[in-house]
């Protein structure tokens, strides 16, 4: 049975790419019973007599999956952060970074709307750039006059990878994708706001071959809630905490009230930015206070 990859899902059909051809398929009948939903990005075993009538027989194991947008086997998450209008938010950025860390997805940060900044605000963005680069995150800040070099740096991450874009509403994700690949002509948010549908310009997910890699054409998501993350897992999603937490007095230190916590010490010494630590405490509180979810699996 051939092994292909779902590159698009639309109206109950899965479009499977295999050896240069795209096969229109449907999911196997018992997927629903088995609580399986094929996602764009999934590798699958399928049968097909021709390009129009195929059946996805089996989903192969995923290395990760995102809920919004619904994509599996993601390698890179490009977090598009607006420098201004809306203002750069380290809180929102850290939410995206935690989500990507929890899924084992490499984060690349791209700062948009640099051309609108005063030199003072640009300096603040440069300071943030240094802080995140120190943690180990690539953060691309275009030149004020020209973003050509920044775009070249961004697409250098694409070859051989599956990349998804994400970021706050109004950060210009679709505009950025348009400038990377003008022939895609993705509808930017102005069109949908004229129709009164400001939030979701892209209606389905499709993987587009770009720069020897695959890019999801959906602008991704703009709000983050930590529904899948447990409190004990959160600190592992802060690489700057992971680096020093072996020096905490207690194993499994939650970096809250425990004595001898190296993370808190590093915050005091300004080795870890205070805002990163405050975000950690806020996210931890959100996770600890969320209501338990009951689903069918729990009832059995």
User: Residue ranges for the binding site for Zn(2+)?
Assistant: 248, 253, 255, 261
Contact between 14 and 38 (Cβ < 8 Å): yes
State the Cα–Cα distance between residues 297 and 66, nearest whole angstrom.
Answer: 20
Would strands 65-66 and 71-72 be described as parallel, antiparallel, or unpaired? antiparallel
Asked whether the beta carbons of 206 and 7 are under 8 A apart, the reply is: yes
Question: Which residues make up each annotated binding site?
Answer: 112-115, 167-175, 248, 253, 255, 261
Q: Beta-carbon neighbour count of residue 111 at 10 Å?
A: 25
Helices (H) and strands (E) in the chain, counts: 10, 13
User: Would you list which residues are annotated within the binding site for GTP?
Assistant: 112-115, 167-175
Judge contact between 158 and 211, C-beta under 8 A. yes
For 243-260, the DSSP string reads TTGGGSSSTT--SSS-TT
Closest C-alpha to 44, from 34, 54, 30, 32: 54
Contact (Cβ atoms closer than 8 angstroms) between residue 181 and residue 154: no
In the chain, at which residue ranges do the beta strands (DSSP E only) sit? 3-10, 13-18, 21-27, 43-48, 54-59, 65-66, 71-72, 76-82, 106-112, 139-140, 162-167, 207-210, 213-216
- Rounded (to 5) percent helix, strand, coil in the chain: 35, 25, 45
């Amino acid at each position: 049975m051939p092994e292909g990859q779902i590159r698009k899902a639309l109206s109950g059909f899965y479009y499977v790419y295999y050896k240069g051809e795209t096969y229109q398929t449907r999911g196997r009948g018992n997927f629903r019973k088995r609580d399986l939903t094929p996602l764009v990005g999934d590798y699958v075993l399928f049968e097909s007599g021709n390009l129009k009538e195929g059946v996805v027989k089996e989903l192969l194991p995923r290395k990760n999956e995102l809920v919004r947008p619904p994509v599996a086997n993601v390698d890179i998450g490009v977090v598009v952060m607006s420098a201004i209008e809306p203002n750069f938010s380290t809180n929102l950025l850290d939410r995206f970074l935690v989500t990507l860390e929890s899924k084992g997805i490499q984060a690349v940060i791209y700062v948009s709307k640099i051309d609108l900044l005063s030199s003072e605000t640009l300096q603040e963005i440069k300071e943030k750039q240094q802080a995140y680069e120190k943690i180990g995150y690539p953060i691309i800040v275009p030149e004020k006059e020209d973003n050509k070099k920044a775009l070249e740096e961004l697409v250098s991450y694409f070859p051989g990878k599956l990349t998804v874009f994400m970021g706050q509403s109004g950060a210009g994700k679709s505009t950025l994708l348009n400038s990377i690949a003008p022939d895609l002509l993705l509808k930017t948010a102005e069109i949908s706001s004229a129709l009164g549908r400001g939030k979701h310009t892209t209606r389905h997910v499709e993987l587009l071959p770009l720069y020897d890699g695959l890019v999801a054409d959906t602008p991704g998501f703009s709000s983050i809630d930590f529904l899948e993350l447990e409190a004990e897992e959160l600190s592992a999603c802060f690489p700057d905490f992971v680096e020093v937490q072996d020096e905490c007095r207690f194993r499994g230190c939650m970096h809250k009230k425990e004595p001898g916590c190296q993370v808190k010490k590093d915050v005091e010494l300004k080795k870890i930015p205070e805002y990163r630590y405050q975000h950690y405490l806020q996210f931890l509180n959100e996770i600890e206070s969320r209501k338990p979810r009951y689903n069918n699996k729990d009832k059995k």
